[in-house]
């Protein structure tokens, strides 16, 4: 199956082809069986974002942030583009997924902050984060406030 047909027909059972699949080692010894195919899929999506479903974007972001956590590095173009796509598409499911994955590793966190949003998308993301912080109260993860502040500084200042 080529990249275009995989992307166009993506469904949850296909996740195994792009999921982070580690050899159990960390850092330079890490091997991820799916990294090459996943990066080709991401490259196609960066070129033409509309070809990807929200589910595919979420699954790719999940895999790349897991990879970052285990490799102690990040593939910046992939993580930044996927974060941008999640925040731009918006919606509770995408924004919740972004918040769940963004803080997995320092490197993926930093790449995930390299997004440029239009005013509408930035306000929507901040509104969602504020709602989650209010709902969770003192149990809200610390990174929610940091992410909120970064979105505001980068996009509304």
Contact criterion met (CB below 8 Å) for 20 and 66? yes
Q: Convert the pLDDT of each residue in 80-128 to its tens digit.
A: 999 999 999 999 999 999 999 999 999 999 999 999 999 999 999 999 9
Task: Return the pLDDT at 50.
Answer: 83
Give residue-wise pLDDT tens across range 124-141: 999 999 999 999 999 999
| pLDDT at position 49 | 81
13-72: per-residue pLDDT in tens? 999 999 999 999 999 999 999 999 999 999 999 998 888 999 999 999 999 999 999 999
d(CA 18, CA 20): 7
> What is the reported pTM?
0.95
Considering only CA atoms, which of 55, 34, 35, 56 is closest in space to residue 45?
56
Structure tokens at 29: 């010894």
**Phi, psi of 32, rounded to the nearest 5 degrees:** -120, 115
Maximum distance among all Cα pairs of the chain, rounded to whole angstroms: 48
Q: Is the pLDDT of residue 157 over 90?
A: no
- Listed as own residue / partner, the contacts of 148-157 with beta carbons closer than 8 Å and 24 or more positions apart are 150/113, 151/87, 151/115, 151/117, 151/122, 151/125, 151/126, 152/122, 152/126, 154/113, 154/115, 154/116, 154/117, 155/115, 155/116, 155/117, 155/118, 155/119, 155/121, 155/122, 156/119, 156/122, 156/123, 156/126
Per-residue pLDDT, 1: 67
| 32: helix, strand or coil | strand
């Amino acid at each position: 199956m080529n990249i275009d047909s995989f992307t166009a027909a993506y469904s949850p059972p296909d996740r195994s082809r792009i999921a982070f699949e580690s050899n159990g080692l960390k850092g330079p010894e890490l091997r991820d069986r799916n990294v090459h195919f996943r990066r080709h899929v991401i490259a196609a999506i960066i070129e033409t974002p509309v070809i990807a479903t929200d589910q595919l974007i979420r699954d790719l972001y999940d895999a790349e942030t897991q990879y970052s956590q285990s490799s102690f590095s990040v593939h910046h173009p992939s993580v930044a583009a996927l974060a941008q796509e999640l925040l731009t598409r918006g919606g509770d499911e995408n924004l919740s997924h972004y918040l769940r994955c963004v803080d997995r590793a320092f490197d993926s966190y930093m790449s995930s902050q390299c997004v440029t949003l239009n005013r509408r998308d930035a306000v929507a993301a901040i509104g969602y984060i504020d709602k989650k912080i209010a709902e969770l109260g003192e149990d809200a993860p610390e990174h929610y406030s940091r992410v909120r502040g970064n979105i505001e500084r980068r996009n509304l200042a």
